[in-house]
Structure 1
Amino acid sequence: MRLTIASGVASFTAAILLYPLFQGGTWFWTSLGAVLAVVAAGLISSRLSLPAWAAPLLGLAATWVYLTVAFAAGKAWAVVIPTKSSVLELARLLGTGWDDIQRFAAPVPETRGITLLTAGGVAVIAIAVDLLAARVRRAALAGLPLLALATVPATILAEPISWPAFIVAALGFVSLLISDGRERVGHWGRAVLVRRTRSATSPSPSRSAPGGARAAADTRGLRLSGKRIGFAAILLAVLLPAALPAMEPVSFFTFGVGGRGSGPGNSISIANPIASLKGQLDLPERRVVLTYTNNDDTPRYLRIYALDTFDGQQFGMTQPKGAPQNRTENGPLPPPPGLGRDPQITNVVTSVQISDDLARLRFLPLPYPPRQIRVDGDWRADVDTLMVFSTREEAAGIEYEVLTSEPKPTASLLESLDGAQPNTDPRFLRLPENLPPEIAQLADEVTAGAGTTYEAAVKLQEFFTRTGGFTYSLRTQGHGNSALRDFLLRDRTGYCEQFAASMAVLARLVGIPSRVAIGYTGGVKMGDRWEVGTNDSHSWPELYFEGVGWLPFEPTPSGAAGQGSARVPEYTQPRPETTEESTSPTPGATSSSADEPQDPSARRNPREVDREGTVLPGELPPDDSMPLIAQIGIGAAALLLVLLIPAGVRMVTRNRRVRSLGFKVAQPADELTARMASSRSHTSVAAAWAELDDVLYDYGMARGASETPRALARRLTQQYEFDAGSAAAITNIASAVERVLFARDAGRIEPMRKDLRKVRQALAATTSRGRRVRAVLLPPSTLRRLRLLGERLLDGFDLLENIGLRRTAAQKGS
């Protein structure tokens, strides 16, 4: 029966790991009831000595009855007996729960269907653990279903498993192994109760069992060693990963970004980017998402995702790759793909503050292209797209600074790059084979007459914003070839997702690499900061031009009839020859006085720039955080303080004994000192003797368990050749101890501070310097107390075992 109970405990402690998946605690109590039902069925199986194959069937029946009572009591006969109606109700709830799991992201709300699925799943795991541990007697294999339960939050959530929950689950499995070992030892013969003793020097004598049974071997050491191994393994499993360097995530264990052509389910710990975009635009009232400032006070698009694959349904995102060398803390990010030396570059520093309400976002909204980022946490840049993401951190509430080196292309420059072959991944041109031919024909018609790739891109943008008769509306939905065909050829009504995706598809049809960006427009100016709200959520296409790289285009109608904060890029508008000096805001390029040639001697002192809150071109503001050497120093000091804890405890104990003789002091756990400490009038002798005992232990001269005070004084005097003063001091201490122990009237006892100091100095003179240093910095007497405390904690398991043994012995004796 012990194994059945231990199996239930192990199953439920493993189920505690599921807590991050739910918003409330109903699942906890419901799962506990399911485990108790399985345990009750297991106890009945053991009591009736049913075969191993029958126990799981009884467990399933008990689970069925429990779930009927908990979820379909109104349709059951007498609340307990399942009926056809109750079975149909449970089946309906299971289907509803499965649909809810597919619909919600963790943490999920505790609907009745989800709670039923959770309780039933935990019960099935408990039945499997009971079968392997209590029926088949393979307790180690029972860890497999427990591991399967633990992998559920590990695969769904990006956060690591909570270490307190892991410790609880690991302790449950260790208790199962201990119970299995106890059962196996019990099969060797009749168990004999052996009372523990506190003597550390001699083992307890064996005792005869009632009824003439032979004395049993003392196996306390084996059990204690097993518990120490179990606890040490759990401790290492918790502490060792924190000490190891972070490893590069691989595709099997990283967060759920859809692969190439993965379809609508592409997401990274949040809803699919396109669904999230539509959801924010549909909110009834505007909510602030982030605010930002920059050194040229110009609004910019802030990109979060770059969707690069099109599968015929919608655009998806390739798994981003962030190597350790691409961490933001390592300095500049990888260079922007395709950017050459011809375009004029504008260096801009932007400071972004994310709202605390932006939940489960693991990508940073950034102007493109970012070159360097200062942000706390493990954030990494994808080499291909320069998206900055994290597998551990969330963007909510953080503040960061980003340096962008934005190209400022001109129409003439883009036309001159027409002959350059794009050096990009083929996925930016890939289209499904079943794309309707009418769409390809439309692309050819719209770009007819374009002499260069740039002219073709401009014609595509003008088709959506001017000549095509498109209108902006949030009421449209749908993906796939039919939705794309209807949008381009028939309805021509949609919102930014349809406009961005359609232009990207048409661009690929005419040979221009393209992708779809999702993020926010520049927002509105509120005071001294730009404020971005949910209504500024936006999607736009990015087209690739060799020598300039990825450039944003804006096919979505702007103004009152469209996306209010959308801006058409300056390099795509008809302009006079002097447009290079224009300062109108664009999503992809801005102007700055930093681009003008400057006399080096005329540059301002960097400290003046810092004082005014601005920065030099091409640099991030100086980091005001603590230097690395200071952080290392603080860490070393903290480690030193931790290592000196035993020394501090020893010093406090010594001062309490020597200077506060009237206070009851801590003593070694032996009978001799305990008897002395019982007399309140002689606490000074007990303090002196306890301190002498610790000094001897610290110097490796421990007192023998049967050695009397007088014999100890004689041995120390002869062995270490004490001088007359030291010999008299140790003799006085020994004499006082014997009078307290054995004399009817101990008489007046003189203070022993000086005697104790002389003996300690004499003992220290006989030991090596290393031993003296260890006695001060890492005193063995303090470590001994800590070890004894740990053994007492481990003996808690034996208390439960002895209770079971006494009950068994009493039943057999009666």
Structure 2
Amino acid sequence: MSAPAPPRPRTEERGAPDRDPRALLRSLLAPLGVAVAVLLAGAAVGTAVQGAAWFGHAVLSVVVVVVVGVALLRTRSWLVAPGQLVALLLLVTALFTENGLLGLVPGPAAFGELGTLLAGAGEQINSGIPPVPASPEILLLVTLAFGVLAIAVFGLAVTVGAPAAAGVPLLCVFAVPTALDDQLLPWWSMAAAAAGFGILLVARGDRLRQAPGGVAIAALAVVGALLLGTAATAVGTAGRFESGTDGAGSDGAIGLNPFTSLRGQLTRSEPRDLFRVSGLEQPVYMRALTLQRYVPQSGWQAGRPLPGVPLAGPLPPSTSGPARDATAQVANLGFEDYWLPVFGDPTSIVGPSETDWSYDAAGGIAYSNSPLQEDGWTQRMRLPDPSAGALRAATGGSGVDPAYLDTDGVDPRVTAISRQVTAAASTPFDRAMALNEYFSGPGSRFRYSLQTAPGGGGDALVDFLTRGRTGYCEQFASAMAVMLRAVDVPARVAVGFTAGTAGPDGRTVTTNDAHAWVEAWFPGYGWQTFDPTPLADGRTVEPQYVQQARAEAGGAPAPDDPAAAVPPPPAAQQPAPPTPEAAPTPEPAPEDGDPAATGGGSVLPTVLTVLAVLVALAVLGALPFLLRRRQQQRRTGLARAGGEGAAAAAWAEVLAVSRDHGVAPRPGDTVRTTAERIGDAHDLGEPARRSLSELSDRVEAAWYGGMLPEPGALDPLVAEVSAGITAAGTPLTARLLPPSVLPAPRPGPDTEPADSTP
């Protein structure tokens, strides 16, 4: 055993402020990289939220998180994530509430305000289409989303030091725009995300020598993202990538899933041809499917089709009364879905596969068990042509399914408005016409637009009727169908396409013709069409009975808007939400490939759940690292202090660093043998080997000779050995789950335990 060497000069404590400006700048590179990476990855939010206000809130949120993280990182690393969460809560309290203590600290009232705003954000997501207005509700959601994701990325990239792993939560920043927008994101968003991730990898003070290579790799990633983003441009409808262009003028098949697909088709920047129709002498809507079930605060939902008959052969009628026979030839230019669009009341359809398609006469839909694209078909049909007088006389028992009168959970204010609008109407037909004119007649206060007005955080349908009064076909059809049911007229929503544009080869139907309208049931006649959407481009098809009723009324303006006279009921009078026992029985879960696999629930709970899971995973993932950091700080502190326990702490820290880098102590080895094995296994340089040899001598002298080390004698040795072991880099697994936090084997039965200090 060699004699212990004299103690080395005491070095500056770890974690103390670095007085070298260049070193300080290097330490700030990673936090700055986190801020830039999160903002670049979230740039796609601009496609889903109007204006630039969202970006200011995102920047403020990320800056607060990063600044607080840098400040806390230089004190205690385990405080970083909790401190950032507290700072984010103080920020949203100051920005979005009026009841915070001193304007910053939230209390019960402030939490209530935040909850109300988040609920309102959910309603605006459900009732609007992107880009949604930058309302306080949406800005709160954006601020929280960027803040939480910045906390997760900061924890992995800076606190844990694993920037590659931080790419996982970084990708989740796309949860915000994808929650608000049913289309795929634009090509440049992929390039921005790739650039942000590249900056996250390159911006490291301890790897500046590798920066040129890292920049080159990141640049290649951005170029690749640009190429991929250009090749797979944004599409709506069924959420599939476009598959090129064919000779028919289509650039890939799309579907029509209500209502998310409808929104996507309405907002496409370039319309795509879907059908070419010939043989029809008059414009007729194409009905793809009908929606029977209305769920308050969620909207209309498709149910399981009734068992149908094979599409081949004669089809049972779904209407009765006077009608005109017609035949149409349909060429499919790029439509693929579970539903085959039909006109009027089909009597036969020739062309599609005889075994793949069925027809549900009650629903008026043709459907298959998997998405299909047929080349074309010929349809024979009845086009119902009752008069206004005939429908006005159609009263009595309807014989229709009572589900088409279901209004469970509908806000009583909607019922009150419906009854006031139809107060002067004595028949179901007159009530239907009164509601139709209420939305689209002369003097109506409603306006068609693809940009909807933000709601007030309450019932979405009430907001549309009383405040916004601006929307697209889904909202008009949804509102009128619910209001018809409220005045005892069976109703459903139909989804499909308007008649398209006339041309020399027939009518061409495009994605711009995606539409929703209302069908009301009249005894003896069946389902008849009403379209309440006030389209101004001439695409509306008005049946004969609607034109006759308007002529009889002399073009009278729409009735006075009763919504203005319906005050919101007091809070105490708000109906309690239906209990699970009182709720309508849900549709059975559709089997794989069933066309009814469509939902309309709020996406906000999903977004918030994803964010909460991200935080939980980030915290759980950082626990081993934080425990290892705590052990390291305690051991180096004991070693620095000298005296009893210093040698054991110093030796335990060296063994822990070695174990984290793949070389664990072997039972039965002495201190000196273990030191030699560590030096050889890690290929330590001469300075680190000398420090390791000196440290092993001092440990043996303390354990067996009672020569306790003086203060400041061991910690520089531990630092130099650790630097030598980690010179080749630390594996990602060693950063996220250090093996040294688990119980370690002892270096020998007759020696001091290798890890006797925590």
TM-score by length of 1: 0.37
Larger gyration radius, structure 1 or structure 2? 1
Kindly indicate whether structure 1 or structure 2 has the higher relative contact order, using CA contacts under 8 Å at least 6 residues apart: 2
Q: TM-score, normalised by structure 2?
A: 0.40
